[in-house]
Structure 1
């Protein structure tokens, strides 16, 4: 590692990293892949960027990968994970096979998150509602958006649900 990187100098601020992973078939994933990928990316990104950025990446990757593994309708399908960071922004994209109905559910959830001004209040309200119905889940993306400042968008392309999460890292350097 160069002295400039160790000291957090100009070379550190110019780092760009891009990684893509595909996992197929999903049914063969017999480990805690969400934690493995989240922790790996935290360590790798932390070598080039402040820990606040790499920790936020870990939280989001863990959440997104867990969502795919828990909600997949086609265990024989593939999951793609793409991470791209530069001095302006961190992009984390996850893509997996989904039905149009699944896309609509995720889209409505993401739309609610994006339209809500007080995400912490939305999180409290969601916790109360889920507790009353004894339901599980539904908090992850809200928590990620509220606590980690990611902008989340969703799209449906050729049978694939694509979730993009972007963090402006410029102000965190």
Structure 2
């Protein structure tokens, strides 16, 4: 079986993005889409026991703020911000809101790759990443992409959906103030 990198890219870029909770537990290549429906990252999964679901829904979404967990890093902003490994109650609340936000508003596309071709995935990943138009994969740099600005209207909508109390909203505002005051 020959795998064409151009066809992989086109499939990732044109198929309807899937809600993250519905991702399969199989392996292959994936693209992450932000809350505006823009493709931001292309990656692979082959070592995660839970496949796409584990790599994306669990790690990229709920992982650390380090840059290897793309959604967690990209949305570490405003009321969803917390300093790395901060376990204070306000920070935990912000991290929980961030996780809920990404799971509600972000999507992914996936292409399953047969297990016999898993050894080819790292080379395919690099090739497909190079096929993307300049500026499309803004989360590709492992060490240099800035988190987005807080999508305030969507965060407000989510807070209403989740029925956050005024005390919880105050805690999130404290986190946003810390985010604004931190050195850059």
TM-score of the superposition, structure 1-length normalised?
Answer: 0.29
Q: Which has the higher contact order (CA 8 A, sep 6+)?
A: 2
TM-score of the superposition, structure 2-length normalised?
Answer: 0.28
